[in-house]
Structure 1
Amino acid sequence: MAKKKELSRGIRALLSNIEDKTSLPQTKEIVKELSSSIAEISLEDIEINPFQPRTEFDPEELVNLAKSIKTYGLIQPITVRSLGGNKFQLISGERRLRASKMAGLNAVPAYIRIADDQGMLEMALVENIQRSELNAVEVAISYQRLIDECKLTHEELSGRVGKNRSTITNYIRLLKLPPVIQAGVKKDQISMGHARALAGVDNVSLQLTYFHRTVENKLSVRALEQLIRGGGSSNQVSSTSSNTHSGNSLPSEVVAIRDQLRDQFGSKVEIKRDTKGKGQFVIKFNNDMDFNRILEILQED
């Protein structure tokens, strides 16, 4: 798990060493340490990047994010570059930074980078991902940083970390979940499988309803998926086991294939099959971008 600390002696010493022009091996170690450390930085010490391509932000989205940050804190840290003298320039996360100001925060969690660290940062983040103690949200944040800060495509990222593109997509989708659900993943209230199922629900209110039901009733991933398919019916939770053995249920081996396809495509996949073995696959998508993403996966395979 990323270490969260004040901008104290440890991080100050690392930044001071960089300013003193350390050797290349030492610089690599410093970049590695910074890549997995989260510091609390005063908003007064962060300046906006003048070359930020995005200049307009949806006011309603900012207000909603500010409310969320006020309640749950900033789940995904921003990234800044050290300018020396305890001053920093924003690299990514301006929307989160603005919303944090609106929420009345004095400081925000941030990853700190140094000048000319692109290649070293990439290696450090890839190494961090391999660590078993990271939770799914922390892995997703690392993937997103590799895409945003190291300018890797999904295909390049897939090659760097040795994971299928569909697996990477599934992780990144977690960052679109409401902060309370992301926090639930970090606190081990729900698993990656639960989060993936919730990410397939378009309505935020429904996502939250299903999340709270899952935590309160200690639902399995399979039970949550059945709850979602049933539209949240109160009978759905209690009838999970009986439905599994009903005459219309799929054989266990077909269910396993369906779940594997859901993981592969990062979308809802339904298999309809009669007693004679005749049926159809249904792969659901939310929009044209999602449709094209699924097509790319099909063409790869």
Structure 2
Amino acid sequence: MSAMKKPALGRGLGALISDIDNMPFNTRVEIPESQVTPASIMEISMDKIIANPYQPRSTFDEDSLEELADSIKTLGVIQPITVRTTDDDKYQIISGERRYRAALLAGLETIPAYIRKADDQGMLEMAIVENIQRENLDAIEIAQSFQRLIEECNLTQEDMANRVGKKRATITNYLRLLRLPPEVQLAIRAKAISMGHAKALLSIEDSKKQIKLCNQIIEHDLSVRQIEDKIRKLASENKQKSEPQDSHDDPSVDEAYIHLLDIFGRHLDNNSFFIKRGENGKGSVTIHFNGEEELFNFLNLLEQTNL
């Protein structure tokens, strides 16, 4: 028996989108809904289209939509949207919701659309890939999209990297952004700080300090290099505060150390003893001896010497 053919998703999402984008637009024809097949193109009534619940974009720039609507009024919808059929004879958007919204603003009654078969996982994956490839998502939306793929599609970071054509390190860096406080994430979404700024802030564990530094970036227009230098300086200051006072600064400890060196140096070979100074006046003395006789001689020395 021949092996069962793998579903299209196994080829990678880049291939799925390429299949759609490479299809000639001039092949569009009117197709009876009863004869709809995967990758068919047809004009669909706007009132029969419903939004994609898996849409990774949470916001749409109104000015940008207006500009696209003006273009659609003049040129029409150049690139069809992609939809799937639903059980109630509606069409659910897989990708192209921005074009759909702009078409509504332009007053179109119908819109050209590719008809594809897709399950919920396919819907989510295709919507995310379409948006990522078109660079329409901000960094936090991309991070949230990757997180949804992990949670809802049970993908590992390695799987996801292969599906969306990104390096695994890139996936990891985006997901780390979700550890930042909401205030910092909002600044990223508003493009008030860059991805580089965000990566620098992630080196700090204290969320309050992250927010404070984020505000400084915005208020003083700090570069990534400047904020990295600032963070290194703060880390160095914190380390110095946490370190115990160096006992070398204590004159009484220095005097005792010198006295001990003098006594041992006068009675022992330099290679037979070792004095190590630690912190807070602590330390250790190591004495090497070659036999019991040498040990007893040293003990007698200690008894006779006023340390």
TM-score of the two chains, using structure 1 as the length reference? 0.41
